[in-house]
Amino acid sequence: MSSRANPKVVVLMGGPSREREVSLSSGRECATALRSEGFDVHEVDAGQDVAQKLRDLAPDVVFNALHGRWGEDGCVQGILEWLHIPYTHSGVLASALAMDKQRSKEVYRRNGLPIVDSILAPKGDVCARHMMAPPYVVKPNAEGSSVGVYLVMDGANTPPQLDDAMPDIVMVEAFAKGRELTTTVLGDRALGVTEIITDGWYDYDAKYAPGGSRHVIPAQLPAEITAACLDYAVRAHDALGCKGMSRTDFRWDDTRGLDGLVLLETNTQPGMTPTSLAPEQAANVGMSFGSLCRWLVEDASCDR
């Protein structure tokens, strides 16, 4: 980052993904926080002219507040590397790898991290027949924020009928029952464990609508499970090659002890909205939202 007194920071937000509205909310919150921290902040809605806008603005740092495809899958990271502009969060390879759920699970498996079985299958086949015994989940292999998730429960007589927005190849994953847990990693440190409580499925609305879910932090768990979540999240962060901040999601079947804990996925661009989990975990360890955003900017670099 530039050593000048008032570094110029561009907050990339919006973009064309299915998570555009969440990204706009994240971006606005982060821009406001960074201004309060003394940065010269410019907000950019990332479109096809994003490279030209970045050349014209010539920022010292890009704060990446994009979510979903193109923003957290290595694409915009490649543009930033090409332009040699320091940026926050993970680099090209880690972003692409974490966004691909099946490949990231292969990395987890090789590193001894617990996961549930899953396969990739053509959408037509998934609509025609059960690809595995229910209960199971069908979701895009490369989206976040629970976009396009179908839950097929025990006793379902017919397979799910996927909407036209679903990709041609989807992930079919054994349903992991139990409690929803998540852990944020900042640098080399796991911040804590949150339990997410909802009335039903933890879908897009539950994540982002006010009152859609309740967050318990620190989660009320046996010490062994808390320690495992902290350990597994750091190991997942490191195995994928993440930088800056990531958040790893878990399910825990509390009838099975440690054997009931599984990793679901790692998010390299955790949400930064008023209801987001990572800022709550940072606050729980004494880091304000502004301080968190400042830390990410000061951690920014190229060749990530």
Query: Which residues are tagged catalytic?
Result: 19, 145, 208, 247, 249, 265, 267, 271
Q: How far apart are CA 266 and CA 98, in angstroms?
A: 6
Q: How far apart are CA 14 and CA 24, in angstroms?
A: 5
The structure tokens 């290595």 sit at: 74
Residues 6+ apart with CB under 8 A from 177: 135, 251, 253
> Is the CB of residue 54 less than 8 Å from the CB of residue 62?
yes
How far CA 205 is from CA of 202, 275, 285, 286, in Å, comes to 8, 11, 27, 28
Nearest to 86 by CA among 63, 61, 115, 111: 61
Q: How far apart are CA 36 and CA 57, in angstroms?
A: 20
Q: How far apart are CA 273 and CA 28, in angstroms?
A: 9
- What Rg value do the Cα atoms of the chain yield, rounded? 19
Cα–Cα–Cα angle for 131, 236, 85, rounded to 5 degrees? 110
Task: For the chain, give percent helix, strand, coil, nearest 5.
Answer: 35, 25, 45
